């Protein structure tokens, strides 16, 4: 069965800290891995990773994929209170190629 | 550019009442459409998937149903709501088996 496991489930840090969020996956036919940020409402797309070892970067956020060990990490440097959110990891899988999500990591950044 | 509309944003319904949530997509043709549900503290669970008009795949047995009467319209329905139907419902579209883009979500409370 295809699945995605994220850790930790929750994390509390102070502004300026650097955090690393983890995502491991098992999927029959790997195509990509996606990261989303969810605040109050809908998840917003952050990154899509398809190749091992190539870092995707957007401002203070970066992510990398390891297809051999079946995991990805999302790094956030110099965290700000606006980074507080649930971060979701997903892979296309299942019988229809639909996105399978992990339970998310709830990040709280204290001032 | 593509946009996705979902309404209503919040809904409080009594047990046993019917439900109809609507989702429409603009700026694309023949999208893959999804309904997800997110219960408190849990990841996104796929409910229904559609690759075209009148084509609906159900992932989870439940008292909900979905319909796609038009190419860019996806409707989630129930004849009689249960308390356990409470949650955050998200409509999403994707161009294929890649990243998905979400509507703003409907927070449903069944009382």
For A27-61, how does the pLDDT look when each residue is reduced to its tens digit (9 = 90+)?
Answer: 988 889 999 999 978 899 999 999 888 899 999 99
Which CATH architecture fits A3-110? Sandwich (2.60)
Q: Chain B contacts of A95, Cβ < 8 Å?
A: 57
Which 3 state secondary structure label does DSSP give B106? Answer: strand
pLDDT of A53 reads 87
Please tell me if residue B105 touches chain A, with a CB cutoff of 8 Å: yes
What is the rounded CA–CA span in Å between residue A22 and residue A68? 15
How is residue A106 written in tokens? Answer: 């709830």
Instruction: Give exposure, A3-29, as e/b (b: 16+ Cβ within 10 Å).
Output: ebebeeeebebeeeeebebebbbebee
Q: Which of B10, B36, B44 to mutate against chain A (most A CBs within 10 Å)?
A: B44
Question: What is chain B's pLDDT, residue by residue, as a tens digit (111 residues)?
Answer: 788 999 999 999 999 999 999 999 998 888 999 999 988 767 788 899 998 999 998 877 678 999 999 999 999 999 999 999 999 999 999 887 678 899 999 999 999
Contact A23, A104 (CB under 8 A): no
pLDDT of residue A96 exceeding 80, the answer is: no
Contact A36, A47 (CB under 8 A): no
Q: Which residue has the higher pLDDT, A70 or A40?
A: A70
Test B105 with A101 for CB contact under 8 angstroms.
no
pLDDT of residue A20 exceeding 90, the answer is: yes
- Where in the sequence is the domain holding B97, given as residue range(s)? 3-110
Mean pLDDT of chain A, nearest integer: 92
Instruction: For chain A, list residues whose CB is within 8 angstroms of any CB belonging to chain B.
Output: 4, 31-32, 34, 41-45, 48, 88, 90, 92, 94-104
pLDDT of A64 reads 96
Test A99 with B44 for CB contact under 8 angstroms.
yes
C-alpha R_g of chain B: 13
Question: Phi and psi at residue A81, in whole multiples of 5°?
Answer: -60, -30
Test B43 with A103 for CB contact under 8 angstroms.
yes
Q: Chain A contacts of B102, Cβ < 8 Å?
A: 42-44
A52-77: average pLDDT: 94
pLDDT of residue A95 exceeding 70, the answer is: no
Q: Which of A101, A102, A104 to mutate against chain B (most B CBs within 10 Å)?
A: A101
Residue linked to tokens 């051999």: A68
Of A34, A95, A103, nearest to B99 by CB-CB distance is A34
Q: How far apart, in Å, are the Cα atoms of B8 and each of A7, A94, B47, B88, B90?
A: 33, 29, 18, 11, 11
pLDDT of A16 reads 97
In chain B, the number of structural domains is 1
Nearest residue in A to B103, CA atom: A42
Domain CATH code at residue B88: 2.60.40.10
pLDDT of B96 reads 73
How is residue A111 written in tokens? Answer: 């001032």
SS3 for B29-97, per residue?
CCCEEEEEEECCCCCEEEEEEEEECCEEEECCCCCEEEEEEECCEEEEEECCCCHHHCEEEEEEEECCC
Q: Which residue has the higher pLDDT, A41 or A86?
A: A86
Which 3 state secondary structure label does DSSP give B83? Answer: helix
How is residue B84 written in tokens? Answer: 């356990």
């Amino acid at each position: 069965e295809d699945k995605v496991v994220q850790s930790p489930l929750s994390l509390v840090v102070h502004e300026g800290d650097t955090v690393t969020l983890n995502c491991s996956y098992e999927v029959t036919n790997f195509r990509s891995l996606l990261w989303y940020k969810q605040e109050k409402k809908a998840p917003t797309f952050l990154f899509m990773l398809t190749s091992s070892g190539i870092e995707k970067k957007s401002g203070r956020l970066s992510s990398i994929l390891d297809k051999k060990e079946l995991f990805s990490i999302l790094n956030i440097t110099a965290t700000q209170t606006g980074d507080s959110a649930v971060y979701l990891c997903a892979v296309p899988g299942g019988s229809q190629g639909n996105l399978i999500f992990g339970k998310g990591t709830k990040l709280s950044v204290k001032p | 550019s593509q946009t996705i509309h979902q309404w209503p944003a919040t809904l409080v319904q009594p047990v046993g009442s019917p439900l109809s949530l609507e989702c429409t997509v603009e700026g694309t043709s023949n999208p893959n459409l999804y309904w997800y549900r997110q219960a408190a503290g849990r990841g996104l669970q796929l409910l229904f998937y559609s690759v075209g008009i009148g084509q609906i795949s159900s992932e989870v047995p439940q008292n909900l149903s979905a319909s796609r009467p038009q190419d860019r319209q996806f409707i989630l329905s129930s004849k009689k709501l249960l308390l356990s139907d409470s949650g955050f419902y998200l409509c999403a579209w994707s161009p294929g088996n890649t990243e998905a883009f979400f509507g703003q979500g409907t927070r449903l409370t069944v009382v």
